[in-house]
Amino acid sequence: MIEQSALNVLNELEKNKLHRIYLLSGKDGRYLKLQIIKKIKRKFVDEQTEAFDFIELSGKDITALDVSNALNTAPLGKRKLVVLRSVNEAESAEMKKIYSMEIPSFSTLVIILESKRKPKVSEEDTVLVSKYTVTSQLTKKWIKDRCRENGKEISAAAIDELISRVDGDFFLLLSEINKLVLYIGERKKIEQEDVEKVVKYIPETKVFALIDAIVAKKKRAALKMFKQMLSTDATSVNLAFFWLLKTFSQIILIKELINNNESISAASISEKLNIPLFSVYKLLPIAKKFTFSQLVGTFHKLEEIDVKSKIGEMDLPLAFQLFIQSI
């Protein structure tokens, strides 16, 4: 087993150097872990056969037999890629069998580990990744590249302001860049004042990431973010709940407008409701996906939690967590 940083792995993959097992360990580096998997898929798994050659297993669904069958069945294209997620929820006996497997030459196994513990792996061609740090220079280049992909430039001052507000969380950076692109409209360059108006400071940014996950019904991701928030800054729970109430009220207002006029534009909705256009773009698909009664029913549940927590009949963090578990 050899240890490498996430950036070294990505550089190797760019040069078509591929190993048989990748252990992506630790709670950090979600974005870079995803990029490693995406790069293996893009460079080594045929797009036409991806449905057969790319297999993901998660949690209690992971068994040594299923993993063995997936790895040892010859690919229809160039290579087989098997990804295991939430392995801490799998049976330990099953994982021990998986770690003892030899991987055929036509397959690659990626295991996403929550802890930094080193499992004993029989396969010699194994890479352990536990470092996900990115230099400031590379982060700035990444931000410029993402803006250019959207046909925009960004000033150096705006980049510094963005990093100061969102830190090094690449998922949050990408989300905020998308908001900024929508916010500036036809303008070609994102300036510092745009960032100051649109991008919230952490932990407020993480509050909005939690709200996005809840509204999109991504229960696992939302629960994980909620527990992290509770352990690091319990006061953010109140802020998150306030914004969740506000977000659902906005979705209901949008739903009313599109029920009355299906062809109404996002710009018109933004103007009528005084909601930023980038927020309308995010909330429109949710408003269209659910019925008016479903949205109102959810809002009433949130209102009940809000009222009862304020008069002492409910513990807000517990009630909030139970609500997330019910989505």
Name the token pair of 101: 């497997």
From CA 138, how far away is CA 282, in angstroms rounded?
A: 29
Residue 236 dihedral angles phi and psi, to the nearest 5°: -65, -20
Question: In Å, what is the CA distance from 303 to each residue of 238, 248, 306, 314?
Answer: 13, 11, 5, 12
Tell me the mean pLDDT per 10 residues along the chain, length 327: 91 93 87 91 92 90 92 94 88 92 95 84 93 84 93 94 77 86 93 89 65 82 82 72 85 91 88 81 85 87 86 87 88
Residue 27's pLDDT is 76
Please give the CATH number for the structural domain made up of 204-326: 1.20.272.10
CB 140 within 8 A of CB 14: no
Q: Which helix (H) or strand (E) holds 24?
A: strand 21-24
From CA 279, how far away is CA 187, in angstroms rounded?
A: 19
Bridge partner residues of 3 (DSSP): 128
The domain 136-198 is placed in CATH, from the list 1.10.8.60, 1.10.1660.10, 1.10.1060.10, 1.10.10.60, at 1.10.8.60
Residue 233's pLDDT is 63
Residue 91's pLDDT is 86
From CA 187, how far away is CA 208, in angstroms rounded?
A: 26
Name the token pair of 85: 């997620």
CATH architecture of 2-131: 3-Layer(aba) Sandwich (3.40)
Residue 16 dihedral angles phi and psi, to the nearest 5°: 65, 25
Residue 234's pLDDT is 63
Domain boundaries, the chain: 2-131, 136-198, 204-326
**Pairing of β 153-154 and β 189-190:** parallel
The three-state secondary structure class of 245 is helix
